[in-house]
Amino acid sequence: MTLTGRAKALRRARRSTSLARREALTFYLLISPWLIGLLLFVLGPMVASLVVSFTRWDLLSPATFIGLQNYEKMLTRDPLFWQSLKVTAIYTCVYVPMELAGGLVLALLLNQRLRFEGVFRTIYYLPSVLPGVAFVVLWIWILHPDVGLLNTLLSYVGIQGPRWLADPGWALPALLMMSLWGLGRSMVIYLASLQGIPRHLYEAASIDGANSWQSFWKITIPLLTPTIFFNLVLSIISTFQTFTSAYVATDGGPLDSTLFYVLYLFRQAFQYFNMGYASALAWVLFLIILALTLLIVRSSGRWVFYEGERR
């Protein structure tokens, strides 16, 4: 009796493990396209990129192993590497906070249950989905020193605008301004999470005598920190990859004042065909972004507030 019971239990257990094994097999079969893609387009290329970064290779003659020379050249003998790093770092340091704050301000503005909220949201969001090249071409025209929209508007208030993209001192700020036209993307993300904050929290706070300024800092901001965190990581990763605007609008100039990192990498790879050196640049970019992301994730424990009850 007990023996057959145990045998039954054993058989049931065996059947359930075989079911589990089948389920696992199905899982791996179904994700196999992604797994193969991961090897072909992510892990493989990353290893290959590291290997190529230790060589000199123009794709015509065979690659020659040169050890750490590419990295050594980059760090000690290549002022353009430092210039591109500087341009990208400045741009990131200025643009990311502006996007975080600007997107939040627009979202707060729209979150006041304005009439036509949908119309405003459409207008703010639209530029951020437009094709990059057309977006940039339009802005080159707006920034035209003599008959551009921006300098025309400035002339109405008695300011003679700079030569923007043709001026080494103003080209980077001009690109910055241009990118702010795409602020709507972060606004939409903020707006969604603002609308997820339960109203009763504000009502309770106002009964306790909190004014709207206090509610903003004690309720809105803490509950938004996960979204701010998400936008911060996304924004840094994407600004470090700025390419189209620099390539189309200025081609890195004037005087390398808009030589973004990825533009320089692109030149080394696809214009000078220094595949080894370009791969070294790619790995350094990877390490920089990885370090920044880890830094933010590490710090997030201190300032990102997660609700106890997470859905």
Please report whether residue 109 would count as binding other proteins according to CB under 8 A: yes
Please report whether residue 311 would count as binding other proteins according to CB under 8 A: yes
* Distance in Å, CB of 25 to other proteins, minimum: 8
Please report whether residue 110 would count as binding other proteins according to CB under 8 A: yes
List the interface residues with other proteins, window 41-80 (CB under 8 A): 41-42, 44-46, 48-49, 52, 59
Please report whether residue 267 would count as binding other proteins according to CB under 8 A: no
Please report whether residue 37 would count as binding other proteins according to CB under 8 A: yes
Give the span between the Cα atoms of 43 and 50, in whole angstroms.
Answer: 11
Exactly one of 100, 232, 275, 304 binds other proteins (CB under 8 A); which one?
A: 275
Residue 258 neighbours by CB distance under 10 Å:
26
Q: Tokens for 15?
A: 């059947």
Exactly one of 142, 174, 259, 304 binds other proteins (CB under 8 A); which one?
A: 142
Contact 148, 233 (CB under 8 A): no
> Hey, what amino acid is at 144?
H
Helix axes 221-239, 275-303, angle to 10 degrees: 170
Whose Cβ is closer to other proteins: residue 37's or residue 169's?
A: 37
Whose Cβ is closer to other proteins: residue 3's or residue 310's?
A: 310
* Distance in Å, CB of 129 to other proteins, minimum: 5
List the interface residues with other proteins, window 186-205 (CB under 8 A): 188-189, 192-193, 196
Contact 95, 267 (CB under 8 A): no
* Distance in Å, CB of 246 to other proteins, minimum: 12
Cis amide leading into 254 (omega within 30): yes
> Which is nearest to 103 in space by CA: 124, 130, 123, 129?
124
Contact 197, 220 (CB under 8 A): yes
Give the span between the Cα atoms of 263 and 267, in whole angstroms.
Answer: 6
Please report whether residue 225 would count as binding other proteins according to CB under 8 A: no
Exactly one of 3, 4, 5, 33 binds other proteins (CB under 8 A); which one?
A: 33
* Distance in Å, CB of 201 to other proteins, minimum: 17
Contact 189, 103 (CB under 8 A): yes
Please report whether residue 96 would count as binding other proteins according to CB under 8 A: no
